[in-house]
Structure 1
Amino acid sequence: MHATKDPVFLIALLSCLCLAIILLTLGLLIARTYRHVQQRQRLAFMSELEVLKKERARIAADLHDELSPKLILAYRLVEAVSENRGMGGELFPLALENLLKVSERIRGIAADLYDEMILKDGLERSIQQFISQHEMLEALRVDFRYEVKETLSDTSILHLYRIVQEMVNNTLKHSGAEDAQLKIISNGKYLSFGYRDFGTIRMDQPIDAGVGIKSLYQRVMILGANLFIDVDQGVAYYFKVPLTKLY
């Protein structure tokens, strides 16, 4: 009997063909999934680089715009005392006060750069310290509420801390608000994050056009959530992320 007319041979041949098609399809799916994962990792990496670039620019601006004037003022006060211009008993304490503020702010900026310190102190305490440092130097007062019992991953802690940093800095630079609220609350399934300032934002450009806002969108996206922004009597930011993505 001819091999091609043998039913057993035909069944075996068809089975081999089906198996080959299945293996080929599976291989294509695996390759496509691998490319997709690589693409997502690359996008996340590029987003992180953009965030780091933005943070370096922010730190440079803080050093130049915030600390430089205080140092110059302290220098002029000391100069006036040394040249017997004005009341030295009044000028010298002012110079010391400015130098103390500069020292505290530099220490705060250094702590912001030190991820290990943030992880050691924990998210709640690190945010409290960051807020208190700004309250000492600025007019802004932040009502902070933290209710999270779960242990978050190191990556999640750092992203959440940087998000708070960016929002507070946006308030100081653009809003002019004297009061703000920050709530980070867990209900056991989700972590809800809300920040609102009570100032008047400059509307000369769209709220989501700035590099700082894009940085916030990127960080929240990396956490696995979507950022919502509302402009009404100040600026409000909100996002909600499953806790399973933060462990």
Structure 2
Amino acid sequence: MEDKLFYTVVSTSVIIALIIMFFVISVIRYHRRYIRLQKDMIRAEITMQELERKRIANDLHDSLGPLLSSVKLYMQSIENISADNRALLNIANSHIDETITGLRQISYNLSPESLSRNGLVKAIEEYLFRINSSKVIEIDFDAKKDIKLPENIEIHLFRIIQEVVNNTMKHAQATSLRLIIAVVGNQVTVMSIDNGIGFNPNEMGKMARGLGLSSIRSRCEILNASLTITSAIDQGCNYVIKVPLS
């Protein structure tokens, strides 16, 4: 009788253990599938954003740019006008020049041709040259010229660096920023160090939306990259992104 009870208890325990194990495995599989689907959705959304950015950049470059240039040529061809009107015409020409320059900058930010043509390092150099020329902030960039990465990694890293630079200029009140890209073995590391006002790391969750961190984190997830942000009040802010290449 006792043996029968013992076997019944053991059998029941084994069945319960198997049910629990099956449940745990199912939950783990569901969680992995959910994460995979989430990544696929983020990847698809970002891909659509890049395509839309490219389309808008092409429209600006191919349509509005030539149109403004044509308007400027027509205005320059106007003759026999008074000195006052000529002065107004010169001012209008100056505004058109500024608009054309602004369109080129917007078009470049939306879809930098240099990225596909010359690679990540050259594209970042051109992007930072434009910013340094404005004298708003001094940005030092350190990377080997011969760095060549897969196209999908380059576009995501370029967008991440754009976001980091924008965050620094908008929120950090920094006068200098240092960017580093290094490839060691099967890993590429991107570092950003600024001398801005920093922030309380305990408030990072509240500030994430304002700092545009969701975009950076989404792209890091797609690349299976790690993202570390360190900061303190009056101590600047550091970003470290590590992307596996294997």
With normalisation by structure 1, the TM-score equals 0.61
- Given the superposition, is the C-alpha separation of residues 99 and 228 from structure 1 closer, same or farther in structure 2, using an over 3 Å criterion? farther
- Given the superposition, is the C-alpha separation of residues 45 and 108 from structure 1 closer, same or farther in structure 2, using an over 3 Å criterion? farther
Which residue, 229, 234, 237 being the options, matches 2:236? 234
Aligned length: 196
Q: Which residue of 2 aligns with 1:195?
A: 192
Stretches of structure 1 that go unaligned for 5 or more consecutive residues are: 1-28, 60-81
CA RMSD of aligned residues (A): 4.4
Equivalences for residues 89-100 of structure 1 within 5 A = 100=97
Q: Which residue of 1 aligns with 2:179?
A: 182
- Given the superposition, is the C-alpha separation of residues 150 and 117 from structure 1 closer, same or farther in structure 2, using an over 3 Å criterion? closer
Q: Which residue of 2 aligns with 1:156?
A: 153
Per the TM alignment, residue 168 of structure 1 is displaced from its structure 2 partner at its CA by 0.6
Q: Which residue of 1 aligns with 2:215?
A: 215
Q: Say if 2:76 is the partner of 1:43.
A: no
C-alpha distance in 1, partners of 2:94/2:134? 11
C-alpha distance in 1, partners of 2:96/2:132? 17
Per the TM alignment, residue 49 of structure 1 is displaced from its structure 2 partner at its CA by 5.7
Q: Which residue of 1 aligns with 2:224?
A: 224
The answer (yes or no) to whether the contact 2:227–2:239 under 8 Å persists in 1 is yes
Stretches of structure 2 that go unaligned for 5 or more consecutive residues are: 1-24, 57-81
Per the TM alignment, residue 122 of structure 1 is displaced from its structure 2 partner at its CA by 0.8
The answer (yes or no) to whether the contact 2:173–2:197 under 8 Å persists in 1 is yes
Partner deviation per Cα, 1:38-76 (whole Å, 9 max, x = no partner): 64443123324665799989x9xxxxxxxxxxxxxxxxx
Partner SS, residue 227 of structure 1? strand
- Given the superposition, is the C-alpha separation of residues 177 and 50 from structure 1 closer, same or farther in structure 2, using an over 3 Å criterion? farther
Per the TM alignment, residue 197 of structure 1 is displaced from its structure 2 partner at its CA by 1.6
Aligned residue type for 1:158 = I
The answer (yes or no) to whether the contact 2:167–2:211 under 8 Å persists in 1 is no
Per the TM alignment, residue 234 of structure 1 is displaced from its structure 2 partner at its CA by 1.6
Equivalences for residues 69-88 of structure 1 within 5 A = none
The answer (yes or no) to whether the contact 1:224–1:241 under 8 Å persists in 2 is yes
- Given the superposition, is the C-alpha separation of residues 212 and 242 from structure 1 closer, same or farther in structure 2, using an over 3 Å criterion? same
The answer (yes or no) to whether the contact 2:193–2:238 under 8 Å persists in 1 is yes
C-alpha distance in 1, partners of 2:153/2:48? 19
C-alpha distance in 2, partners of 1:51/1:211? 18
C-alpha distance in 2, partners of 1:98/1:128? 27
Partner SS, residue 152 of structure 1? coil
Per the TM alignment, residue 125 of structure 1 is displaced from its structure 2 partner at its CA by 0.8
- Given the superposition, is the C-alpha separation of residues 51 and 153 from structure 1 closer, same or farther in structure 2, using an over 3 Å criterion? same
The answer (yes or no) to whether the contact 2:198–2:236 under 8 Å persists in 1 is yes
Partner SS, residue 194 of structure 1? strand
With normalisation by structure 2, the TM-score equals 0.61
Aligned residue type for 1:234 = G
Q: Which moved more, 1:148-157 or 1:199-208?
A: 199-208
C-alpha distance in 2, partners of 1:123/1:136? 20
Equivalences for residues 11-50 of structure 1 within 5 A = 39-48=34-43
The answer (yes or no) to whether the contact 1:185–1:191 under 8 Å persists in 2 is yes
The answer (yes or no) to whether the contact 2:121–2:147 under 8 Å persists in 1 is no
Give aligned-pair identity as a percent. 28
